[in-house]
Each structure stands twice: as structure tokens, then as C-alpha cells.
Structure 1
């Protein structure tokens, strides 16, 4: 499994720059309440509590994010817990199902009933991949 690269010490000390066009403000994950939405946004409502994965700017007071990067809060999660979800579960999904091709019979590395070996047992990504697989 991968690491949260922007969380590495060299990244937090300014050695890694944000992607072009991203905010210079730190922070990749947020949770909060929608206060406005664009006319073409579907599936979310003003006043709804959500979490999101950003390219940067998560520590700002307000953020603007594309709806494709927004998730409804899972049942039983508050804003504090939900803020930690987007990066972890996106990384687990990427590694298991996109890069690892789990569940795809045509070019698959693992099928239901098989074991997936996940490195970095102290990572938050590993336990989040267990229910996904």
C-alpha cells in the first residue's frame, strides 16, 4: 500500500510543492457543512454534512471543491471522524481495485477468497482496505 506522500517530513517542511493550480495552504482532507453549491451540482444539498479530498487548502476556513471529490458522511460518523476518511479510503481503493485489479477476472491479481498481503501494518490505509476487499 502507498503512503500519504504530502504527510512525509520532507513534504511538510516545504520540499514538496502543491500541484499546479492548487492552494498554497496546507490540508488535503476536510469535513464540514455545505453552505453553497453550483447550479449543476447533483446529489448534495446546502446544509448537508460532507467530507472531501482536496489538492490543497484544507486548512482554510472555507473551501471550494468539485462534487466528484465530495462524500456524504457515513452513518454514525461525525465531522471529526469523517475528515480522516477521504485520503485513506481513496488510497485503499486505488491500490486494491485500480492498481491491484482485485475482482477483475480478465487481468486480476486476486479473486474472492484469496489473500491480499498489505505492507505497512501501522498505516491507516491497511485497515481501511479490509472492508473494501
Structure 2
């Protein structure tokens, strides 16, 4: 089963880190990533750009592009991991590994359906369909 691990953090805190502090954190996170790759459990992972450069598409028809994500939370979504775990408990443990490296981040874990060209689509485990 695939799970998304969404990494939230206060953007101002992340942007205040020195290049060295950020590089050190990323080195440690990449060590976790490498271990997950060796275990064939890590799918795509991404560090998102600043919300200051983000836009949102809303509305009917072609929609309207407006500035920002307008999150109603203190933290912003700054990155995500797609992991292949046998259970939600295993996905939570994977998120705990990431949190040990970056303890001030918040991680949301949710089942996902991964859409790949030519792949058979399957419903998430908790989907009764």
C-alpha cells in the first residue's frame, strides 16, 4: 500500500536556517531516504518551493489564478514523500524516522492511490469500493 507522508513546517523558521544548517539537515534526511530506497520503500519525494511563489487555481470554468495557497494553518506544506508500506503503522514508523532528523516538522500520513501510466488502478485499503 502506498502512503503519502506530507511534511509541514513553519516556512519562516525553515527560511531562517543558515545554508550550513539546511545542508546538514538535508544530508541527514537523505540518509533516511537512502535506507528507504535500499528497502524498496521510497517512491517520489519532493521539497516544495516557497509558498510566496505559489499560486492557486480556483473557480468555475477555466478558473482564476490567485496568489498563494491560503493555508489556514500555522505550518505550510513544504515537502512530501511517497512510501510503500504494508500498513499505516509502518508508514507512521517511517514518518517517525523522518521526525527524528527534523523534530520541529509535522508529518501527515495518509493512504494514496498512485497513478502510473499503464498501471492498474487500485482503491486505497480503507476504501470500500
Asked if these proteins are the same fold (TM beyond 0.5), I'd say no
User: Under TM normalisation by the shorter chain, which class is it?
Assistant: under 0.3
TM-score by length of 2: 0.23
Higher strand share: 2
Higher helix share: 2
